[in-house]
Structure formats: structure tokens, C-alpha cells
Structure 1
Amino acid sequence: MLKISDLLKELNDIAPFSDSESWDNTGLLVGNMDDNVTGIITALDCSIDTVEEAVIKKANVIISHHPLIFPNASKVVNEGAGKVIRKLIKEDINMIAMHTNLDHQSNGVSHMIAEALGFHETEILLPRTGNFKKLRVNINAEAKDEFKENLLKYSPAGTMGEYTEVSYEYEVKGQFIPGEAADPAIGKAGQKEHVDEFVIECMFDGKDQQSVIDAVMQYHPYEVPAYDILSLDKASETGLGVKFNYGDTLESLTELIRVKTGINIVNTVKGNDDIIQTAAVIGGSGMSYADDVFNSGADVLITGDVKYHEAYDAKAAGFNIIDAGHYLEVIMKQGLAELLAQKIDVPVEASTISTNPFE
């Protein structure tokens, strides 16, 4: 049986929880890691009605985009979010949040919105600068192959995109004098040694630094391995929003959104009369990124929660904005259900409950 802990691993493959913003609250928020999964409901929000839907459908997991609990929650009483939490516990239903980690994937929420409009070819709008590191470690020639195999097989080092166990190596000459209290793998205390060595280099995610260091210490034959860790400023394969080629007017794009999603546009800011060659999508609230979006070459930003002064400044700057509302993210329900159904055998359904507060 698939346990909650197993489900979280599958979800982490779809959208690593480490990609969540520091202020966010993702992962298992209510539940038990050891529970067996009987069925899953995907939702934008976890409401009382969503929990009742899960009960009717005999699903004991709700995966919502918006977290039910944020760090400043101080009580669980029978009102607001507390009422939902109490019902989740009473009905023995697990609740998992996939929020900004799902936002930051190339096939995440913004991509799902673009797909719903009929645009399947997208690219990351605002790529993250990845926290990448490079390990550079010296190893004697005789122990090189065994050490390299263990390092790349049993540590997070050497993964680059869809490739694993990636490394580079080159020959060097090593020199050292062991101290009297040393216990060297090669040589004798007090005598200078010259060793034929190799330098092995491999990349890893900065969050895994301690795991990589632990692996070096575990598998390296030297008492004190010589290694360096370098920080690299490199674009990540994740980021916020997506962009796609359009090639028509602002008015036609606005109508396309309404027809394809069934969601009425809140407001449109027409900053110019140019043809929209490149359209950008940031699901949820994206106006704080407007300058970066238009500096990237986008001709319109599709997002939600646009304030009056933000719209005023955008129009003055000649920017086109389509405020499709925060609820446009509801498209993620079906998108996430489809991604997850490809990975597990447990029934997965998109919630049929509307949590749109403006209806």
C-alpha cells in the first residue's frame, strides 16, 4: 500500500518542497506519515466542503495549492481554518499543501494555465538563480574508481538536469608530510610523500552540501581528504511564471482566457496598441514582478490581484496587464491530478467544489 510518506516522495519528484519560498508552509500539514492512501482529491483551497467531498469519495488525502495553515496560526478552534482542521482530524483525512514549490516548476501552475489556453510550449519566465555548488576532491589513483562510484551512487552529487552520476576528472601530483600523531593511508609519519592523484569534480544542489561532505568523509580513504566546495551563480531549471508565443491583439487574448477557462476577466490595463507577440503568466499575485516581466521581453502579463495604483503605474509605463483574478489558479486542480495519476495507482480526482470567494 502507498503510505503518506511514499506519496510525499512522489510529490517531491513533481515539485520539490525545497523549492518553496521561505515564508511558505508546504508539505504534510495535517495527518500521519504512516497512513495508507485510499484516494486523493486535488484542490485550490481546502474548505469544509472540500473535506466533505473527500469523505463522500472515500479519499483520505486532500492536496491543496493554498496552505490551510501558516506559521502565525496560534489556535485551532471551531471557526475559520481551525474549523477545517478539526473536521480533517475528525474524518481522519490528511492534508498536504503544494504552493510555491508547484509555482516554481516548468510544468507548474503557470504552465497549466497556459496549457488550458491551448499553449503547450512554454518556457520559464523568471528563472531562479540556483544555489549550485561544485565539489572538487583529490583522490589517489589506486582508490579513484571505487571512491568515485560510491560518491556518485550514494550521495546527491553529480546530478545535472535529467543526467545523474556526472563527474569530471584530471591528473595532478599530490604532496604531504604526515605528522607524528597522524595515521596516513599512504606514507609514513615525518616523511614527505609524492602521490599520483586525480581531482574529481561534480555539481550538486547547495541544500545538499552537508550530505555531500559526509559522503566524502565516509568513502575517501585518506584520514584528512583534500577537497574544495565552490559556489556557482547559475540559472536554475525552475523559476516563476511562464511565457509563450501568441501573435494577436490584447483583446483577442482577453477573450480567449474567458472562453477557455470560463472565468470572467477582472480588469484589463491597455498600455499600448502593439500586437502581443509574447504573453507571460504568473498565477496568483504577480504584480510585484511586473518590471522584471517586461524587462524579459513580455508584451502582456496575465496574473491576479492587481491593485489600482499598480494598474495606474503599469498604464503610465506602457505595460499591458490582464487581471484574470487569483482564482485562475484553480486550473491547477486538474493539472496536478493528471501529473500525479501518471505516478501512482491510487485514485486521484480534481475537486468539483468551487472555493471562489467572489461567487
Structure 2
Amino acid sequence: MKVKELMAILDEIAPFKDSEKWDNTGLLVGDEEDEVSGILTTLDCAHATVEEAIEAGANVIIAHHPLIFPDISQVVEAGVGAVVRNLIRNDITLIAMHTNLDHQPDGVSHMIADALGAEETEILIKHEYFYKKLRVNISKGDVSQLKKDLSAAGVGHQGDYSECFFEYPVKGQFRPGDNADPYIGAQGELEHVDEYIVEAIFEAAHENQVIDALVASHPYEEPVYDVLTLKKPSDKGLGIKFSYDGTLTDLVSLIKDKTGHSVVNVVDGGSDSIRKVGIIGGAGMSYIDAAFSQDIDVLITGDVKYHEAYDAKLAGRSIIDAGHYIEAIMAHGLKQLIEKRTDIDVCATTVSTNPFE
């Protein structure tokens, strides 16, 4: 398997297009034409991680946190640059799966919940999925060819289905001007024609190529069409939630027992019992309002600041700061997701990159 083939598999697990705009995911170091000898999954890529990959015979490291961000302006033998140089010296590929993995139903937050023994989880903050709908008028005899050409341009693809179109008959009329070159009718004469309206959805990002394909395929000199913007809840989003029966103290003990990670701090919002738990791996306090609007009793996250905790306390919201490093659980979870799709050897890191240790 080549790196580019592995990238295609990873894109199935967590599409890179789901990454936040500020993020830096995908192939960070390496050559997509290289053959993959083995894979190491990890939260962070450090010198010790590179050495671990070498010992394991793995020439691909897949990290959750990107080693390289846009504010890095030089690659020298210090800091992040030294790690990058180490990767290159040892011909090791580095791939980052960060916010794209966060936003999946079986992503990082789900992996944390799974470690806690939660059997069923659902997305905490669902994304809204924006897409486009094309509606175009065309003569009856040209419907089939138009649908074929539009389908090739990405129109009518919905989940695991393709060529999804609707069509219905309408009556059209027009009067070609003196400078017109009509496909049907004659200059200056009012023409009535039996037409069909063809409708289908497509990805918003593909609008330009869809319009180009429409104009190229449509026989009319001036095609009549509309492009509508639609939205619906997605099956993806940030964080997860699951049912729980116990107290806040019970939940804190469960986190310590099941994950081996020490809880940093706890904000007791005054709930006597916990029935619904939310998790946002990493730093999730900027989403606290959206999280608690989903009827959770407590939010497990990391990097909670003093004033954020103070405001949560005043609002009667319980917060468990389990630390950012609890995301290290993702190394094993990602290993399992990759192993379902390939026979390449995959190992989860055993090296701690926790900066507080």
C-alpha cells in the first residue's frame, strides 16, 4: 500500500474536508508515493514517538495534533523543527487527523466515552449540513442526456446513492429576439414548448463545476435554472453525549479508574445526580452554551480556565476538567478504525507526550 492509498482510507474514516479552516490536517511530512511498512498512531509526534516508530518498523505516524501549524516559519534543529528533521532523516511520513477526527460520530470524544464503558453515544452538537439544489428547465427529449452529464459533474449524489433526480412536466413559452439563435422556435415568434423541470442536489463546494457542466450540456442558448441553498442536521458534529446513572463523584472516580488519567479540576454545579454526560475532547469550553443546551448534566473536557469555571459555577453547570491529554485514548481508537480497513500492521503508541509529566 502506498501512502496515497492510506490517505484514501483515512479520508473514509474522517474526511479531511471536515477539518476546521484554521486546522492543518493531512499529509504533513513525506511522499504520497512511498510504500507503507507500518503505522503508529499517537496524540502528538515527539522525538520519542519517532524512535518508537523506528523500533516498531513503522514508517508512517498518524498524530491527532498537527506538528506543523502555519505560524512555523523555519525548520531548524530546535523545537518542532528538530522533530520534523528527525522524521525526514529517517524517511518517516507524518499525517495529522485533528478536527476532522473530532467531528465524527466515532471520533475522539466517542473513543473517550467508549473507554468509560458507554455503550451508546450520540453527537452532542450537531453540525448543519449546507448543500445546493439545482432546478433546471429543459425540453423533453434532452432530459436523459442532461441528467447523464450532470451526474458526471457530481449532481444527484446522496449518501450511497447516485443519479438521484426528480423530473416533472411543465409548459414553457418564450419569444426569441432578433439577435437570438434559438434551439427551438423562430426569431420574433412566440413559442410554446413542452418542457421538463429536472431537480437534484449537489455539494455546495462543487457549484462552479456544476454550472459549467449544465451550460455545456444544455442545448438552449439561455438555459433557465435556479440554484437553491438548503440545510439539514448532519450526522456529524462536535462531542458526544451518553446516558449515565450516578453522582458527579462517581463519574470522577470512573474517569480515573477506566482511563488512568487524573482529573485536573471539578466544578460542582449542584446536580444531585447525573443522568446525561457530555464529552468534548481537548479544549471544549468555548462550546459550553451549545453543549448544555442539549440537556446534559455535566461536561467532560479539558483546559478549563479559572473564569470559565467561575462562570459555569454561577450558572449551575457541572464541569469535569479531565485534562487535554485524555485525548491520548484516541491512539488505540484510531488503531482499531484503521485495522478494520487494512491488513497493514498498526500499533498505538505507548510513549507519553504529556507535557505535565
The normalised TM-score by structure 2 is: 0.94
1:63 matched to which residue of 2?
A: 62
301-310 vs 136-145, which moves further: 136-145
Residue 287 (1) aligns with residue 277 (2): no
Q: Is the 8 A contact 2:147 2:163 kept in 1?
A: no
- Which secondary structure state, in structure 2, belongs to the residue aligned with residue 257 of structure 1? helix
Give the Cα–Cα distance (whole angstroms) in 1 for the partners of residues 25 and 298 of structure 2.
Answer: 30
2:231 matched to which residue of 1?
A: 233
Residue 137 (1) aligns with residue 136 (2): yes
1:81 matched to which residue of 2?
A: 80
1:326 matched to which residue of 2?
A: 324
Shift of 1:188: 4.1
Shift of 1:285: 0.2
1:174 matched to which residue of 2?
A: 172
- Which secondary structure state, in structure 2, belongs to the residue aligned with residue 197 of structure 1? strand
| Structure 1 segments unaligned to the other structure (5+ residues) | none
Shift of 1:191: 4.0
Give the Cα–Cα distance (whole angstroms) in 2 for the partners of residues 126 and 252 of structure 1.
Answer: 25
Q: Is the 8 A contact 1:61 1:95 kept in 2?
A: yes
241-250 vs 169-178, which moves further: 169-178
CA shift in 2, pair 1:171/1:312, >3 Å? same
2:340 matched to which residue of 1?
A: 342
Give the Cα–Cα distance (whole angstroms) in 1 for the partners of residues 246 and 209 of structure 2.
Answer: 50
Code of the aligned partner of 1:228: D
- Please point out which of 258, 263, 266 is paired with 1:265: 263
Mapping of residues 89-128 of structure 1, within 5 Å: 89-128=88-127
CA shift in 2, pair 1:180/1:64, >3 Å? farther
- Which secondary structure state, in structure 2, belongs to the residue aligned with residue 54 of structure 1? helix
Residue 159 (1) aligns with residue 162 (2): no
Q: Is the 8 A contact 2:271 2:318 kept in 1?
A: no
Give the Cα–Cα distance (whole angstroms) in 2 for the partners of residues 190 and 261 of structure 1.
Answer: 79
- Which secondary structure state, in structure 1, belongs to the residue aligned with residue 37 of structure 2? coil
The normalised TM-score by structure 1 is: 0.93
Mapping of residues 188-267 of structure 1, within 5 Å: 188-267=186-265
Give the Cα–Cα distance (whole angstroms) in 2 for the partners of residues 353 and 329 of structure 1.
Answer: 14
Code of the aligned partner of 1:60: N
Shift of 1:324: 0.7
Give the Cα–Cα distance (whole angstroms) in 1 for the partners of residues 59 and 292 of structure 2.
Answer: 43
- Please point out which of 282, 290, 300 is paired with 2:298: 300
Q: Is the 8 A contact 1:265 1:322 kept in 2?
A: yes
- Which secondary structure state, in structure 2, belongs to the residue aligned with residue 212 of structure 1? helix
Q: Is the 8 A contact 1:131 1:207 kept in 2?
A: no
Share of identical aligned residues, percent? 56
Give the Cα–Cα distance (whole angstroms) in 1 for the partners of residues 351 and 163 of structure 2.
Answer: 45
Residue 315 (1) aligns with residue 346 (2): no
Q: Is the 8 A contact 2:44 2:65 kept in 1?
A: yes
Give the Cα–Cα distance (whole angstroms) in 2 for the partners of residues 235 and 22 of structure 1.
Answer: 20
| Structure 2 segments unaligned to the other structure (5+ residues) | none
CA shift in 2, pair 1:158/1:274, >3 Å? farther
Q: Between Structure 1 and Structure 2, how many residues are aligned?
A: 357
CA shift in 2, pair 1:244/1:164, >3 Å? farther
Q: Is the 8 A contact 2:135 2:198 kept in 1?
A: yes
- Which secondary structure state, in structure 2, belongs to the residue aligned with residue 288 of structure 1? helix
Runs of 4+ that moved beyond 6 A: none
Code of the aligned partner of 1:44: L
Shift of 1:159: 3.3
Question: How big is the alpha-carbon RMSD for the aligned residues of Structure 1 and Structure 2?
Answer: 1.9
CA shift in 2, pair 1:179/1:46, >3 Å? farther
1:13 matched to which residue of 2?
A: 12
Give the Cα–Cα distance (whole angstroms) in 2 for the partners of residues 16 and 22 of structure 1.
Answer: 13
- Which secondary structure state, in structure 2, belongs to the residue aligned with residue 201 of structure 1? strand
Shift of 1:180: 5.1
Code of the aligned partner of 1:83: A
